[in-house]
Amino acid sequence: MTKQDLQPDQKQQEAHPEKEEPTKKIKRESILLEEIQEGYRKLQKARSTLYTASNVEVGETPNEVLVETRAYRLLHYQQMVSKTAKTPILVVYALINRSYVLDLQHDKSWIRSLLSQGFDVYLIDWKAPTMADKYVSFDDYVNCFIDDCVEVLLKKNKVDKLTLHGYCMGGTMSTMYTALHQEKVRNLAVIAPVIDTERDSTVIANVAKNMDVEKMLHVTGNLQAEQMYALYSALKPFKQGVNKYFNFVQNIDNEPFVDNFLRLEKWLYDTPPIAGETFRQWVSDIYQKNLLVKNELKLRDKLIDLSMIRVPLLNIVADEDHLVSPQCSAPLNDVVSSIDKRLMRFQTGHVGLIASLYSQNNVLPKIGQWLKARSQ
């Protein structure tokens, strides 16, 4: 048998090209149709699922309301294990969005992690201000609301000092409070505090530094929720818009992904107003004039001098933070007079620092160790 005999007849190969091509075309069209139908199914499922975001359960760690006023609720969380730290922790959340991001879901809860490490945890859950609150200022938040909560904790626990633990703007307010009332503070532990705004290169900082806040508040009274959400949506328009929802549709059948997405989505849209005078001070005095780090900020007649702070300080920052530059938070360690002070930096973002598996595995164990050594 010759080599030529083993080769198929060229005429046979070319005999039915008109039959093979339509078959391939039909198969491709069938696959394409299936992909379109699957994409449409996912899109419809994603659309209906998004409508349920407001019904998602968050902040489920058991707690009791110790005090409730028109400005805040003071929550006390139920112990999960035997209390091993004598010093109670008062968590001061920011005035932006809602505090349940610290207790978003069981496996990513900042609150539950602290409880599981034996700490006694309290939290100030800020209420949304109304137009009647447009003249409420940082003096009210720091010297009235926070101080009232501190007094409740000290009396309830029969101690003379507590750990003040603030997040973002809450970290800034905790720093202000400590500068004025450190006789009541054993430890100051802050997460991504706004301190030196001259070093803040974020979009938010640039917007704040160029904002005519007086003119805006003259029209709106308070900073409205819609304005706040529009600002945050503009920070990363592709990631927070097109890309975010594209990923959601692609993962719509992944139940853990969907649950996590809906909780974060609920939190992102749950944006309360900010009292007008407080927002004016935040923009004008802190971002535009940078008075806090210069030790020139006054709450009424009380000067905030950060160099007066001598209590142990833990400053926790995220290197990938797009809301508060780590370079803005880190200078706190340079301006206080504390001997016992530490700066912890983590490779994550603003929300990832507090509400992620990375946070549970890498951030909270180290924070717990630092606090426990100073909470007896």
Q: Which residues are catalytic?
A: 168, 321, 350
For residue 83, the tally of other CB atoms under 10 A from its CB is 12
Angle between helices 169-181 and 147-157 (to 10 degrees): 70
114: which residues sit within 8 A by CB, 6+ positions away? 89, 121, 364, 368
Task: Compute the Cα dihedral for 196, 201, 202, 203 and give only its sign.
Answer: positive
Helix then strand count (H, E) for the chain reads: 18, 10
Strand partners, 317: 345
Residue closest to 208 by CA, chosen among 221, 188, 227: 227
The pairing of strands 162-167 and 121-126 is unpaired
If phi > 0 it is left, if psi is from -120 to 50 it is alpha, else beta; for residue 295 that is left
Ordered DSSP codes for 154-180: HHHHT-S-EEEEEETHHHHHHHHHHHH
| Torsions phi, psi for 316 (to 5 deg) | -110, 120
